[in-house]
């Protein structure tokens, strides 16, 4: 079959897409990608775009990293697929051992389950929590996003359209408040008070009036909220959730689908919070540099379901596992440190300087490592979805791809190979856009 990726125009591809693909896909820009390399995307017309979205934090090592590509090509010459429900495959086993090493607090007897996506990891964790605890209910948090399949969608509370028209959802899922330091401060509530209020709601309202603690199987919490706005909670919040969980025999499931694999400067974002040791860890997105793969990593005593309880035909595909092993090697070798260094010493300070200059437009700069966001506002405080759209569109027109989050923020989650020169290009473009608002 001939390669038409550069012979048809972008508009021709868009017309073909609209005629054949589901209308449920959201397309923010008329961007058709014919190929990609490193930090850049290319259209059929040859236009180059600087990628500060990384396919929603997926292409962690950049596009077509030579070491990752070599690992995939080597695996192509061995085996492409075996069903992990029926057979054993070395690459999958090596990856499981590696993930256990990267989450040492889970213990040497930790176990790993492989799926294909973050939503699949969430679904598996939901099933596992109910099976292990023999309890029916689960608590997630306001503004959290965990996927679009039924269990994951039921846990999600970031935007109403994710659930609209799909009821009834999975029962016995409850939502608790999650601190929002910027907005809380504007309301006159400091971080300590906000954290106390969020935790108090769980014990004093949820447990007493809605669902007693002995019915709760798990708390499902993001170490940093992704889709909800790249919101970093106070350390005391995550530690408080863990303390409540330990008190009542509830599991803590930490969703690191977007924040993991070196993005924040540590391999897992939860490692920034000393003493926070979730029972179950969810990984996907950047784990295999663009190949579909997710992992549920749990304490051995927790992953006690029986053979046949849960499985996936494609989960842990050998090609994806080979890609993940190469990805992890690169992240451990240099890319997590690059995320920390570029994030802390280059990109975040530059964004903060813009915030100081354009405080009427940027209310806050937040995040860790290369998981950063700016919140767009009117008059320094009021959320402005209009400005969010203007910034995203302006960047796109200037050849830079970024992604929105929350109702009024723009996130910057580039490949972890990003360099200072790329950040300088982004900052100059942002400054030009902000001058026009």
Which of 331, 346, 377 terminates a domain? The answer is 331
Is residue 1, in this structure, part of any structural domain at all?
no
**Any idea what the CATH number is for the domain that residue 23 is in?**
3.90.1150.10
Tokens of 191: 């971080």
Query: Are 295 and 425 members of one domain?
Result: no
Query: Are 207 and 257 members of one domain?
Result: yes
pLDDT at residue 163 in the model:
86
Query: Are 307 and 352 members of one domain?
Result: no
Is residue 412, in this structure, part of any structural domain at all?
yes
Of the candidates 401, 404, 406, 361, the residue with the CA atom closest to the CA atom of residue 382: 361
**Any idea what the CATH number is for the domain that residue 287 is in?**
3.40.640.10
Q: For 173-189, how does the pLDDT look when each residue is reduced to its tens digit (9 = 90+)?
A: 999 999 999 999 999 99
Calpha distance 96→321 (Å, rounded): 9
Tokens of 382: 């009021």
Query: Are 296 and 345 members of one domain?
Result: no
Tokens of 64: 């077509």
Is residue 3, in this structure, part of any structural domain at all?
no
- Per-residue pLDDT tens, the chain, 437 aa: give them: 445 666 899 999 999 999 999 999 988 899 999 999 999 999 999 999 999 999 999 999 999 999 999 999 999 999 999 988 788 999 999 999 999 999 999 999 999 999 999 999 999 999 999 999 999 999 999 999 999 999 999 999 988 888 888 888 999 999 999 999 999 999 999 999 999 999 999 999 999 999 999 999 999 999 999 999 999 999 999 999 999 999 999 999 999 999 999 999 999 999 999 999 999 999 999 999 999 999 999 998 999 999 989 999 999 999 999 999 999 999 999 999 999 999 999 999 999 999 999 999 999 999 999 999 999 999 999 999 999 999 999 999 999 999 999 999 999 999 999 999 999 999 999 999 999 99
Is residue 2, in this structure, part of any structural domain at all?
no
pLDDT at residue 4 in the model:
64
Domain encompassing residue 295: 69-331
pLDDT at residue 1 in the model:
44
For 172, counting Cβ atoms within 10 Å of its Cβ (0-12 exposed, 13-18 middle, 19+ buried), the class is middle
Q: 348-357 vs 420-434: helix axis angle to the nearest 10?
A: 20
Total Cβ atoms within 10 A of residue 36:
19
Query: Are 252 and 371 members of one domain?
Result: no
Is residue 427, in this structure, part of any structural domain at all?
yes
In total, how many domains does the chain have? 2
Is residue 138 within 8 Å of 129, Cβ to Cβ? yes
pLDDT at residue 216 in the model:
98
Tokens of 240: 């408080």
């Amino acid at each position: 079959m001939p390669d038409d990726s550069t012979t048809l125009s972008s508009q021709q591809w868009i017309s073909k897409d609209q005629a054949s693909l589901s209308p449920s896909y959201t397309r923010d820009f008329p961007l058709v990608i014919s190929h990609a390399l490193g930090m850049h995307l290319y259209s059929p017309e040859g236009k180059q775009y600087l990628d500060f979205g990384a396919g929603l934090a997926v292409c962690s090592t950049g596009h077509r990293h030579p070491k990752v590509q070599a690992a995939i090509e080597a695996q192509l010459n061995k085996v492409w697929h075996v069903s992990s429900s029926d057979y054993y495959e070395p690459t999958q086993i090596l990856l499981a051992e590696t993930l256990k090493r990267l989450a040492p607090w889970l213990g040497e007897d930790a176990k790993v389950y492989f799926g294909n996506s973050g939503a699949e990891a969430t679904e598996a964790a939901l099933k596992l929590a109910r099976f292990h605890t023999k309890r029916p209910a689960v608590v997630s948090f306001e503004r959290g996003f965990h996927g679009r399949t039924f269990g994951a969608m039921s846990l999600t509370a970031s935007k109403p359209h994710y659930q609209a028209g799909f009821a009834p959802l999975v029962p016995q899922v409850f939502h608790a408040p999650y601190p929002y330091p910027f907005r809380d401060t504007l309301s006159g509530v400091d971080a300590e008070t906000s954290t106390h209020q969020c935790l108090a709601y769980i014990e004093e309202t949820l447990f007493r009036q809605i669902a007693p603690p002995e019915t709760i199987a798990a708390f499902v919490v993001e170490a940093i909220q992704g889709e909800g706005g790249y919101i970093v909670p106070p350390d005391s919040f995550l530690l408080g959730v863990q303390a409540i969980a330990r008190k009542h025999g509830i599991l803590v499931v930490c969703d690191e689908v977007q924040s993991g694999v070196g993005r924040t400067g540590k391999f897992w974002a939860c490692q920034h919070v000393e003493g926070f040791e979730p029972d179950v860890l969810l990984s996907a997105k950047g784990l295999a540099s663009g190949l579909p793969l997710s992992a549920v990593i749990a304490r051995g005593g927790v992953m006690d379901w029986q053979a046949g309880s849960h499985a996936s035909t494609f989960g842990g595909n050998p090609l994806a596992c080979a890609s993940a092993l190469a990805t992890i090697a690169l992240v451990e070798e240099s890319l997590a440190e690059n995320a920390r260094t570029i994030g802390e010493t280059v990109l975040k300070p530059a964004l903060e300087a813009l915030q100081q200059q354009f405080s009427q437009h940027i209310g806050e700069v937040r995040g860790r490592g290369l998981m950063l966001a700016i919140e767009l506002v009117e008059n320094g405080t009021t959320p402005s979805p209009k400005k969010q759209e203007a910034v995203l569109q302006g960047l796109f027109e200037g050849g830079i791809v970024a992604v929105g989050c929350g109702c009024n923020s723009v996130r910057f989650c580039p490949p972890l190979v990003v360099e200072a020169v790329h950040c300088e290009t982004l900052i100059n473009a942002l400054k030009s856009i902000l001058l026009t608002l």
